[in-house]
Structure 1
């Protein structure tokens, strides 16, 4: 499927050619895919979409045996646009399930109306703290991570690296603030400074001057989408990549950033729950077929979109297509009866994953392409700190 034509279209419909059998209660499943498909974060939403569509392809063009109507909308990284498109998906398109949103500043404003409509939402990326604890909800499932998780893993790793002072920089939105909080939750050392920048900012000359003057010998940053690539290129441009140790979650160490930054990323350490070299059958198939279909190495965003699709496929299969029985569908989703590309997968009580986190390092793969390789495990079977406040059974 041509990504360019998908980006230009407001709606993409994927229908199977065969009708379901009479054993299934529903004729089809309608999935609303709302994501950022344009602007600096557009590549992230496109990767989640491509991963989700590959899951449908691997499920025989269906989800759990049901034909799929997939409606794709671009939120343009705008809460207002997100609200408008959400209402269209819920009220006009009457979708059964929603997924796809990249950024928490879009998801948080639209999620209350989705949950109030008793619609299941599968988060293939952001995992806000708001719904990880006391506000956990039966219709909200996070297939990726809690926003603090990857930064917390990096904070734990950096603690043992012997740095004198670490400079923190993050995007000033919920996901960015939670990310720096996560780093500080496990980092046991001195901080040089902590700075927040506007979402979408691409000029970091002022921040790099502050970083140089701070006396830091390391920097940890969370700058999603094109922001991270711009930051790394500008660090290299002034030589700070040679004098400072650079750490980031996997978001800014992945293929979307590698493509834009290039060879100066070699050696970059980044934390993730997934990597192309995780050795399990589901991941090998996913990576190989994604490369074949799209001509590029998949990102963690694509892997998360794929897992969201396979989770839904397994749940619909387990309820034998009876998606109108929402309690049964929710139980089946929580059981997570599918093969994840990250290996073992299970939900915590708050319906956020319990999972392991790895240290990845950017370097050439066997084909000479820059990719990530796992160089160690930071945390095993980690549970986010908010789950203890969730009262769901």
Structure 2
């Protein structure tokens, strides 16, 4: 009898230890995160900056987010919606990822966002913020740690009005992101728009358009071009001799990697955004220092918003103890945004886009001879995008 009892006890204990070991092994299985972005072609720089900062945050946490190991699957969308669609299918169906982060281009985002979120996969945008996803096309599974496209143009429109510019010409590439930004500028600009110039996506020669601009004699030009297009545009703007008579205002074009290429041709230009390396809070100081030590350069806004994306995931994964399969709990944890953002206070609006300050930044050369930006004005405080009331989650 005693031997039988002891045997049963040993078997039961062994089973419990086995179950515990299995549970512990399962708990340590890495969470797969697809990082989809543009890593080739003229718009590769923003994607690399976002990836570098995202991985820096993970590296600082010992390869973990929320205390759980993560496996980041880096995928190149080539800035092509059709390529992104195929990659997303692979990430969801073959790799079984519960989270996809990244995406620079609004053309790419609009092609894949609904597919991702409808499949119950969480999408964390580290850059693109097209207006449909902030309004009627919002989703409980979509979160942005960047900005709604219009925002970084709205602040420039307000600034142009504050500066008394009576007449402006608007220029951008002919795609969703560019259209959103021009609409954002006009929403807060109270002067006259002489012309809206839409050039083909990936066009790099702007000589004929700039000749036309010069003939119109506006008080300022507002422009937005992504990636390598921005470098070409600003250089040609300077070579055309326009900066001395027609100030160049922009959004998203005067990023730090671009300034390293543009050098003196960009000094004195103004751009609107939510973040700059001179933002005075401890989280930002630590981020800028760590990024400089790791990569040898001052981080860009692209890097800042991707770093915050990793911090957001870190906070949410910790709250659900790594159980991202509990979608309701994970969604609620994401919405809490319980982390120290590099921009200061961070809060999601009802459409899962941030409510945040927007400033104007001037391109300068610092005391080390580096090209960077400094805060010139903050026309918008705790700003909300124009579309959140159209979102059914409101």
After TM superposition, the score normalised by the length of structure 1 is 0.92
Q: Is the aligned partner of 1:60 residue 2:77?
A: no
Structure 2 distance, partners of 1:203, 1:20, is 60
Structure 1 distance, partners of 2:310, 2:26, is 19
1:32 to 31, 34, 37: 34
Question: Partner of 2:9 in structure 1?
Answer: none
Structure 2 distance, partners of 1:361, 1:24, is 50
Structure 2 distance, partners of 1:308, 1:293, is 19
Aligned 8 A contact 1:349 1:387 in 2 = yes
Q: Kindly tell me: are residues 212 and 325 of structure 1, through their superposed partners in 2, closer, same or farther at Cα, counting changes over 3 Å?
A: same
- 1:365 offset after TM fit, Å? 2.0
Structure 1 distance, partners of 2:367, 2:62, is 31
Aligned 8 A contact 2:28 2:69 in 1 = no
Structure 2 distance, partners of 1:330, 1:279, is 30
Structure 1 distance, partners of 2:322, 2:134, is 29
1:192 to 170, 194, 197: 194
Kindly report which structure 2 residues correspond to 1:243-322, keeping only aligned pairs within 5 A, or say none.
243-249=245-251, 251-322=252-323
Question: Partner of 2:204 in structure 1?
Answer: 202
- 1:23 offset after TM fit, Å? 11
1:240 to 208, 220, 242: 242
Any stretches of 5+ residues in structure 1 without a counterpart? 1-18
Q: Is the aligned partner of 1:131 residue 2:133?
A: yes
Answer with 363-372 or 100-109: which moved more.
Answer: 363-372
**Could you say what secondary structure the match of 1:240 adopts?**
coil
Question: Partner of 2:10 in structure 1?
Answer: none
Answer with 180-189 or 375-384: which moved more.
Answer: 375-384
**Could you say what secondary structure the match of 1:264 adopts?**
helix
Question: Partner of 2:3 in structure 1?
Answer: none
Structure 2 distance, partners of 1:43, 1:247, is 21
Per-residue deviation, residues 355-390 of structure 1 (Å, max 9, x unmatched): 001111111223221111112211000011111122
Structure 1 distance, partners of 2:357, 2:340, is 16
2:121 to 119, 122, 136: 119
Per-residue deviation, residues 10-65 of structure 1 (Å, max 9, x unmatched): xxxxxxxxx99949856221000110001110001000000100111122220101
Structure 2 distance, partners of 1:365, 1:153, is 25
Aligned 8 A contact 2:170 2:196 in 1 = yes
**Could you say what secondary structure the match of 2:75 adopts?**
strand
2:161 to 159, 162, 173: 159
Aligned 8 A contact 1:97 1:122 in 2 = yes
Question: Partner of 2:14 in structure 1?
Answer: none
Q: Is the aligned partner of 1:360 residue 2:374?
A: no
Question: Partner of 1:387 in structure 2?
Answer: 388
May I ask how many residue pairs the two structures share in their alignment?
Answer: 374
Question: Partner of 1:9 in structure 2?
Answer: none
Q: Is the aligned partner of 1:81 residue 2:83?
A: yes
Q: Kindly tell me: are residues 21 and 371 of structure 1, through their superposed partners in 2, closer, same or farther at Cα, counting changes over 3 Å?
A: farther
Structure 2 distance, partners of 1:158, 1:58, is 40
Structure 2 distance, partners of 1:43, 1:222, is 16
Structure 2 distance, partners of 1:218, 1:276, is 26
Q: CA RMSD in A?
A: 1.6
Structure 2 distance, partners of 1:140, 1:148, is 18
Structure 1 distance, partners of 2:369, 2:209, is 34
Question: Partner of 1:221 in structure 2?
Answer: 223
Answer with 81-90 or 360-369: which moved more.
Answer: 360-369
Aligned 8 A contact 1:248 1:271 in 2 = yes
Question: Partner of 1:173 in structure 2?
Answer: 175
Question: Partner of 1:12 in structure 2?
Answer: none
Answer with 178-187 or 125-134: which moved more.
Answer: 125-134
Any stretches of 5+ residues in structure 2 without a counterpart? 1-20
**Could you say what secondary structure the match of 1:252 adopts?**
coil
Aligned 8 A contact 1:38 1:74 in 2 = yes
**Could you say what secondary structure the match of 1:163 adopts?**
coil
Aligned 8 A contact 1:151 1:182 in 2 = yes
